[in-house]
Amino acid sequence: MGFWQRLLAGEPLEVHNPERLLPELLASYQEEVRLAQQFRVHADHAPHQAGAQGLRAAAKEQEQLVSWLRDEIVARGGEGNDNTGSISIKEGKNHWVRVVHDMQDNLALERRYNEQAIRYDPALPEVAALFRTLAREKGQISALLRDIASLADPHALD
């Protein structure tokens, strides 16, 4: 038994599976659409103009990621429509809490894209490149959200 298998409690290492690629792309697509909508809703509830503008800018960047995912899904024979069913938006009691939810969701997607890039790299380098690009863009959105959160933090020093 290898080191990684022992570390993962004897479960075999996950390798890329071409049949799983399209469902993973669709799940990422749906989550990106949800997050873009969440950014827009949170921008509408922002108490100040800077927070609202920042969240709208993040939503616009999210739309670019949605477009890239849609293009890849269609290229692989899937349907990249915007009909994602009921979208659940995370709410919060104030602007800072909502932005923290946005940051957490964005970071989870960034981690997922990094893991997918590693998993698909040797077999499907073009897919790995897409996931690396998505992760890099998520990092830029994270930086924007951190700036918004620092302005919204009720305990931040002036």
Q: Is residue 5 part of a domain?
A: no
The gap between the terminal CA atoms of the chain, to the nearest Å, is 55
Q: Is residue 4 part of a domain?
A: no
Structural domain of residue 83, as residue ranges?
A: 20-152
- Please report the pLDDT score of residue 158 as a whole number: 41
Q: Is residue 2 part of a domain?
A: no
Domain count within the chain = 1
Residue 20 contacts by C-beta under 8 Å, 6 or more apart in sequence? none
- Both tokens of 144, joined, read 């924007």
Q: What pLDDT, in 10s, does the model give residues 13-65?
A: 455 566 789 999 999 999 999 999 999 999 999 888 989 999 999 999 999 99
Cα–Cα distance between 60 and 42 in angstroms, integer?
Answer: 13
Cα–Cα distance between 132 and 155 in angstroms, integer?
Answer: 35
Q: What is the mean pLDDT of the chain?
A: 86
- Both tokens of 66, joined, read 């949605």
Task: List the CATH number of the domain containing 127.
Answer: 1.20.1260.10
- Whole-model pTM? 0.82
Q: Is residue 7 part of a domain?
A: no
Q: What pLDDT, in 10s, does the model give residues 63-91?
A: 999 999 999 999 998 887 766 567 788 88
Q: Is residue 9 part of a domain?
A: no
